[in-house]
Amino acid sequence: MSLPWIIVSGHETPDTLNAMEQGVIDQCRDGGLDCLLIPHLYHIAESSNLWGNLGGRLENAVLLCWLHPRPAQWLLRRHQIAIEGLTILNLGNFPDADSVVSAAISIVQDGQQAPMGANRRASGKGPSPGKIEQFKESTKPRWYPILDGSRCVNCQHCLQFCLFGVYALDAQGRVEVRNPDHCKTGCPACSRICPQSAIMFPLYEKDAAIGGAPGQFVALDAAARKMFYTRTRQPCPMCGRNADSKPATATTANGSLCPECGRLQPVKTSATGAAQTAAPAPFDDLDDLIDRLDQQMQRRR
């Protein structure tokens, strides 16, 4: 089979095509476009041979999947699959099969590949049917983080924060998702403490940024930041307090919370022992905006 132009990654339900997927396949067949069907990209097992088989099929292809392009791209990179020449389209962004196929055809033609219907009979009566191939494999639902290598600065907050051993350091000392299936299903907490929004959970629907939507950055969650400093026992870079610091009480606190770690701040005393009003921790306009966004998100839930 020649290199497929269209690759369709199925929906959540294994071995069952939904109406849009079936419509795309039918149009590809009728229009003379070769098409390859694969399971849902996110649910393919780590050890599957399908990754190796898929690697040679992506050059100058259009991948249609139920993921945003960014997590799909970094998922393929995670499995050492070259994506040069690959275009990724999120099926969830299209209303029907017609619009999907139209977009895919436009990309194929703009890429100066053979136009739709180039696979024609010698008689000139129209395009011969496109070839439909399928990579079959049983899959089960999975939940794990995908790391965006273009955003990650190797701060290792995720490695220090995660309780389940998902992350580890590679041979070059950089963080990697070593044990993805150790992740707790439904938990996106590490993405909320990543300062660069480099951690994506593509099936998370409550926050498009966590799901890996284009151009989105996660609003750092105040509760998650507090949990990070509590769990790792690291000193807060803003107020200097850590888990071993004597907690402030109602009589020793100035009533303010550190905007970074969320700990109650103590009253400062002068050299004579007199209580002073503690200077508020640095809190600029951007921090204030993020804090208000966090509060709005909490109310919506």
Say how far apart CA 40 and CA 64 lie, in whole Å. Answer: 10
Q: State how far the Cα of 274 lies from the Cα of 200, in Å rounded to an integer.
A: 49
| Cα separation values, 219 from 81, 290, 292, 295, Å | 31, 6, 10, 11
Inform me whether the pLDDT recorded for 170 exceeds 60.
Answer: yes
Q: Of 215, 270, 259, 266, whose CA–CA distance to 237 is shortest?
A: 259
**Domain 6-134: which CATH class?**
alpha beta
Tens digit of pLDDT for each residue in 6-34? Answer: 999 998 765 667 889 999 999 989 888 88
Q: CA–CA separation, 113 vs 54, rounded Å?
A: 20
CA distance 144 to 179: 9
Tokens of 102: 């139209």
CA 86 to the chain's CA centroid: 18
Measured CA to CA, the distance from residue 131 to residue 268 in angstroms comes to 75
* Sign of the CA dihedral running 30, 33, 39, 41: negative
Structural domain boundaries of the chain?
Answer: 6-134, 146-218, 225-288
How far, in Å, CA of 76 to CA of 51, rounded?
8
Mean pLDDT over 245-260 rounds to 65
Per the structure block, which two tokens stand in for 70? 């960014």
- Flag whether pLDDT at 236 surpasses 70: yes
Cα dist from 15 to 9, 21, 55, 202, 227, whole Å: 11, 12, 22, 21, 41
Query: Hunting for tokens 């966090």 — which residue is that?
Result: 294
Q: Is the pLDDT of residue 175 over 60?
A: yes
Per-residue pLDDT tens over the stretch 70-105: 999 999 999 999 888 899 999 999 999 999 999 988
pLDDT at residue 299 is higher than 90? no
Structure pTM? 0.73
Are the CB atoms for 36 and 57 separated by under 8 Å?
yes
Question: What pLDDT score was predicted for residue 272?
Answer: 54
Query: 224 pLDDT exceeds 90?
Result: no
Angle at the Cα of 38 (from 72 to 128), degrees rounded to 5? 115
d(CA 223, CA 300): 16
Torsion-angle region of 85 (φ positive above 0: left; ψ -120 to 50: alpha; else: beta): left
CATH class of 146-218: alpha beta
- Helix 97-110 to helix 19-31 angle, to the nearest 10 degrees? 50
How many H helices and E strands in the chain? 8, 13
Is the Cβ–Cβ distance between 21 and 7 less than 8 Å? no
The owner of tokens 């436009």 is 106
- Please count the other Cβ atoms lying within 10 Å of the Cβ belonging to residue 142: 16
Q: Which of 9-13, 111-115, 178-182, 185-189 has the lowest average pLDDT?
A: 111-115
The predicted structure's pLDDT at residue 95 = 94
